[in-house]
Chain A
Amino acid sequence: MPTKIEKDSLSGQNTTGHEWDGLKELNTPLPKWWLWTFYACIAFSAVWVVIYPALPIPGATGTSGWIAREAVVRDVQQAEARMAPMMNRLRAATPAQIAADPEMRAFAMAGGRGAFANNCAGCHGAGGQGALGGFPSLADDEWIWGGSLDAIHHAIVHGIRANESDDQRQSMMPRFLADGVLTRPQVNDVAEHVLSLTNRATDQASAGRGAELYADNCASCHGEQGEGNRDLGAPRLSDQVWLYGGDKAAIVQSISNARAGVMPSWGKRLDPAIINMLTVYVHSLGGGE
């Protein structure tokens, strides 16, 4: 308790009685309403603790029963309810109809962007740029299975070689070296020929030998001139886009052990409306046909 309250001669104010090594504190009284406001805040916080889940104790939810998690769920439900009419329209429409309708298209582009980021970007990249090693770019003009709205829709719904749908995109390239179809020098010759399709062969004699092997083993799927075949998912070999790399080592590797990229079937995982949105969004990335 302060004991020595004295009057400060300079200011005429009383001191609080507190003294620290000769330093004294002047008493400038705080208005009482301020003190009461402070008490009111404490009382308010006590009420708050009772009503809201303020204590770090599991199950201490407060008398109101309000829980942040439930509030989020409620908000999400409200948002879904708001979106429901549009989602119903998107579910009933074909991707082509959505793309043609400005209102549906705007909604699909916004929703598709989010759905793509959630489900597709892990492999195909944030902007659909793809990645070397079997994750095709969706922004270029090269499509293994076709780039029309319907082809994109089919691939998303049924997947590719995932064995999750009877209508999946299915094809299997033989492992020419590993399965003993071709010898190592023959594989080398075929690789030289494939390089020659884009005028990059370094050994013309080898490429010449490879031409015949290519015609016998590869042309049925990849085409005589390496033009590819979308029905079979056989990529074009005569262009500049290479899913697994276009240098000779990568081509030799592809011929020897084959390649078979897999995409899950999203038909069972996503709402048809979301798949329609994804279709329109992917189609708009730059490669849509």
Chain B
Amino acid sequence: MGEIKTPDKLKPESVAHAATSSLYADRQRVYPKAVFGKIRSVKWAVLILCLALYYLVPWLRWDRGPGMPDQAVLVDMTNARLFFFWIEIWPQEIYFLTGALILGAFTLFAVSSLFGRLWCGFTCPQTVWTDLFMFVERWIEGDRNARMKLDAGPRNGAYWARKIAKHGAWVLIAAATGGAWIMYFNDAPTITRQFFTGEAGVTVYFFFALFAGFTYLLAGWAREQVCTYMCPWPRFQAAMLDENSLVVTYRDWRGEPRGKAKAEGVGDCVDCAACLHVCPTGVDIRDGQQLECIGCGLCMDACDSVMGKLGRPKGLVAFETLKNLSASAAAAAALPPGPERQQAGMAARRVPRFIRPRTIMYASALAVVALVMLGAFLMRSTLDVTVLRDRAPLFVRLSDGGIRNAYTVKIVNKTRDEAPLTLTLEAPAGLRLTVQDVEAIGEGRYALSRRGDGITQYRVFITAPAGARLGESTPVTFRLLDSAGRPATSQSSVFLGPKP
């Protein structure tokens, strides 16, 4: 990942406590300033979209017929079903969820290697909720300077009024977040009513409190500490980035040396610290790539607005690859600060190499997993038969010398079609099929009723007559036929007997 510079706050001369060399660091309060610009607009749009999805999806309805939940997205723990629009997942199909998570992971890898920390900066829940909480904070306590003044000032009535208003608003948002979470696991209108009338279960209140509490704690109090100290993703995503990934970068070849706008012989950076003041994690992007930077790009907006006022080209802080950065730096190295240096540096840039072994591998892995999952989904059966052979006893010797095996046959019906199925046996001649408590409808044929959206279980016997010449193990196949006599599904098993 190119050159890594030490952030200012870890440089001893900039931090007072380093002089005492404590093993523990005080938290550096971050007071992000309001910023306007392209990136901020995109971030607002993403924030509104993500929050709207999270809060509103449980209210979407989807008609599944009588007796079935009509919530479009629902994790039904009681009945062990996962509903997603027209898809209904049983517990044994949880690999679809695993597949979705793997797809998510590879998408994350691919996006990171192409465009850097888009996830961290735009869509991570920690970022989205922190952004929302900061918006509320700014609305109640004012912008950066007002907040710093408020915190440094006296603890008077105005101070406490603002703090209480802010935390009250945060708690309300957090409660809405926890409230939306439980709706994914219960019918939204019902649980909303039960929640307020006190009829909901302990589990519901527990998870509400858990998610509300952690939303308040992580988005209100912890904020950038989550990204810097708790989250593992910033640590290992460096493995996905390389010199061709787009990352938020300060074009030092153009900005340095820093100096006043009207000074002679200085670069474009006027050292106004606008980029530093808007940063939600409190880093200085001019220090280079650093772990604390979540790649949200707000510093780009801040710098662009300053450059715009000064009439200088925008993009002093930009989404740029480290490769282009070095190319520009090399081209501009010999030139003195000024428009000529700026043009030479920009001319040295090339279109980022999006197609490279790393991205091809991520994309292929993504495609393979997606295809496997799609295949599995398309071939997903809605009717299965499971045959469990009795193992105690392996076989029973009957009084006439015949041998009998017992099986448990389970009809797994994922539809609401309850039409009976016909059970038949494919086995060497002589083996006779019987089903406990079910009358045969023909020679070796049994009509088995089945529950809709459930499992129906039968105890089934296969009997070999005395003197049947069979080996120790004889393959047999149980076949279920639909009402038209077509094979619906089958399952093979074995018929065991004594050593011949």
Closest 10 CB pairs of A and B: A129-B393, A127-B392, A29-B25, A239-B399, A126-B392, A240-B401, A142-B399, A5-B21, A139-B396, A32-B24
Q: How far is the CB of A208 from chain B (nearest CB, A)?
A: 25
State the CA gap A126–B24 with chains docked (Å): 62
Secondary structure of the A side of the interface? loop
State the CA gap A168–B180 with chains docked (Å): 64
Contact B24 A30 (CB under 8 A): yes
Secondary structure of the B side of the interface? loop
Within 8 A of A (CB), among B385-400: 390-393, 396-400
Contact B398 A240 (CB under 8 A): yes
Contact A140 B396 (CB under 8 A): yes
Task: Note all chain B residues with C-beta closer than 8 A to A14.
Answer: 12, 18, 21
- List 23 A–B pairs whose Cβ atoms lie within 8 Å, in order of A's numbering: A5-B21, A11-B6, A12-B11, A14-B12, A17-B21, A28-B10, A29-B17, A29-B18, A31-B25, A31-B229, A32-B24, A32-B25, A125-B393, A127-B392, A137-B396, A140-B404, A141-B399, A239-B399, A240-B401, A241-B397, A241-B398, A286-B404, A286-B406
Q: How far is the CB of A181 from chain B (nearest CB, A)?
A: 28
Contact A30 B392 (CB under 8 A): no
Q: Is B432 an interface residue, CB under 8 A from the partner?
A: no
User: Nearest A residue to B398 by beta-carbon distance?
Assistant: A141
Contact A33 B400 (CB under 8 A): no
Q: Mark A23-56, 1 if CB is under 8 A from B, else 0.
A: 0000111111111000000000000000000000
State the CA gap A46–B202 with chains docked (Å): 26
Q: Is B364 an interface residue, CB under 8 A from the partner?
A: no
Contact B18 A239 (CB under 8 A): no
User: Nearest A residue to B406 by beta-carbon distance?
Assistant: A286
User: In the complex, given contacts A17-B21, A140-B399, what are 16 additional A-B residue pairs having Cβ atoms less than 8 angstroms apart?
Assistant: A12-B6, A12-B10, A29-B24, A29-B25, A34-B24, A127-B391, A129-B396, A140-B397, A141-B398, A142-B398, A240-B397, A241-B397, A241-B398, A241-B399, A286-B406, A286-B461
Contact B399 A16 (CB under 8 A): no
Within 8 A of B (CB), among A157-210: none
User: Nearest A residue to B14 by beta-carbon distance?
Assistant: A12
Q: Is B225 an interface residue, CB under 8 A from the partner?
A: yes
Task: Note all chain B residues with C-beta closer than 8 A to A240.
Answer: 397-401, 466
Task: Note all chain B residues with C-beta closer than 8 A to A153.
Answer: none
Q: Is A253 an interface residue, CB under 8 A from the partner?
A: no
Task: Note all chain B residues with C-beta closer than 8 A to A17.
Answer: 21
